[in-house]
Copies of this chain bind each other. A is one copy, B any other.
């Protein structure tokens, strides 16, 4: 049996309250007594029981992070940022993967069923009514990551995607002379995909153009899928002023690979741009023009917000908006080395 506060108290000839005070840095303890207690603690190797502590304090110092998936650099970086921030704020981080399409019930169960969590950050990328409803039921502080829940009751971290996508599109259109866009996104319900697509149309509209519905594809954010699509269709896409806008770098890389395989020169015969600026963006040929999404900062901000909220439940909900940044490389006409 582990050593308890009572063992320490006996050893140091004090009461358990005194030991408790010493442990909790209460400087309410006489220096000599404190020294004696600390000695006892060290000699015995005493560590406070986290359950008993939590039972009194109602805090576990553990927060959760729910992501749609754990696959790929995007989520991995979010986790990394979240983890660093959690540690910084004195919390541990538990990771969840939602995975199940629109059925958020398992998630909710996982979270609701006797959990020690002090709070939870949820990344929402398919925002349905159901999701809203589920989030409303979570019996602890919630921070919503990337879901554009205006006026929702929760603290909220959003990426100003629109801004980044518009900057990218303006570059593509004005600096690179794109006229016909081919849009390759994720699911139609995916909030990121929607924002990027809207931006695409908006900027096209600015020059009096639109996108042909036949030039819009909804895939799954994967390299292979995009590669396959590219292999099939790319010959239809070639042309001066034509540009593929893939909603993430992996798909863009897939298109680029398909282009290479087909002997198509990028950006001369076809421009390609991506989104996110994950590592792969620097590894493609040519390197990808893309938009840098501050992935790890997204994770970090969400956790920061969450920990602040846990510390002050009365504070009005806050929204943090992170801005992406255009990264110009060589896949779309203007060969400005970065």
Please state if A50 and B115 are interface contacts (CB–CB under 8 Å). Answer: yes
Q: Which A34-53 residues have C-beta < 8 A from chain B?
A: 45, 47-53
B253 engages A50 (CB within 8 Å): no
- How many angstroms between the C-alpha atoms of A115 and B139 in the bound complex? 23
Interface residues of A in 91-142 (CB under 8 A from B): 92-97, 110, 112-116, 139
- Scoring A2, A95, A280, A285 by chain B CB atoms within 10 A of each residue's CB, the highest score goes to A95
| Interface residue stretch chosen among A68-76, A145-153, A176-184, A211-219 | A68-76
Chain A 156-198 against B: per-residue CB contact (8 Å), 1 yes, 0 no? Answer: 0000000000000000000000000000000000000000000
Q: Does A320 contact B (CB under 8 A)?
A: no
Whether B283 lies near A223 (C-beta < 8 A) is: yes
Q: Any chain B CB within 8 A of the CB of A313?
A: no
Let me know if A79 is at the binding interface, CB within 8 A.
Answer: yes
A30 to B312, CA, bound (A): 44
CA distance A71 to B282 in the complex (A): 16
Given A49-B114, A87-B110, CB of A71 within 8 Å of CB of B80: yes
Which residue of B is nearest A1, CB measured? Answer: B58
Given contacts A47-B113, A70-B83, contact A285 B285 (CB under 8 A): yes
User: Does A55 interact with chain B (Cβ within 8 Å)?
Assistant: yes
Choose one: B70, B116, B260; the contact of A54 (CB below 8 Å): B116
Contact status of A223 and B282, CB under 8 A, knowing A93-B94, A114-B49? yes
Q: Is A60 an interface residue (CB 8 A)?
A: yes
CA–CA, A116 to B115, complex, Å?
A: 12
Size bracket of the A interface: 35 or more
A72–B97 Cα distance when bound, in Å, is 18
Closest chain B residue, CB of each to CB of A64: B92
Interface presence of A322 (CB below 8 A): no
Residues of B within 8 A of A257 (CB): 283, 285
Q: How far is the CA of A283 from the CA of B115 in the complex (A)?
A: 41
Q: Give chain B nearest CB distance to A334 CB in angstroms.
A: 19
- In contact, B47 and A139 (Cβ under 8 angstroms): yes
User: In whole angstroms, what is the CA distance A62 to B135 when docked?
Assistant: 23
The answer on a CB contact under 8 Å between A62 and B116 is yes
Q: Does A284 count as interface, using CB distance less than 8 angstroms? A: yes
Q: Are A79 and B60 in contact (CB under 8 A)?
A: no
Residue in B2, B50, B92, B283 whose CB lies within 8 Å of A280:
B283
Question: Which listed residue (B47, B84, B97) contacts A112, Cβ 8 A?
Answer: B47
A97 B83 Cβ-Cβ under 8 A: yes
Among candidates B73, B114, B280, residue contacting A48 with C-beta atoms closer than 8 Å: B114
Q: How far is the CA of A197 from the CA of B282 in the complex (A)?
A: 28
Nearest chain B CB to A119 CB, angstrom units: 14
- Chain B hits for A282, CB < 8 A: 223-224
Question: Known interface pairs A113-B47, A116-B116, A283-B257. Does A83 touch B95 (Cβ–Cβ under 8 Å)?
Answer: yes
A260, chain B: closest CB distance, angstroms: 6
The answer to whether A21 has its CB under 8 Å from any CB of chain B is: no
Which residues of the partner chain B approach A209 to less than 8 Å between Cβ atoms? none
Pick 11 A–B contacts, CB within 8 A, sort by A.
A47-B112, A51-B52, A54-B54, A62-B94, A70-B79, A70-B80, A73-B73, A79-B79, A80-B97, A224-B282, A283-B284
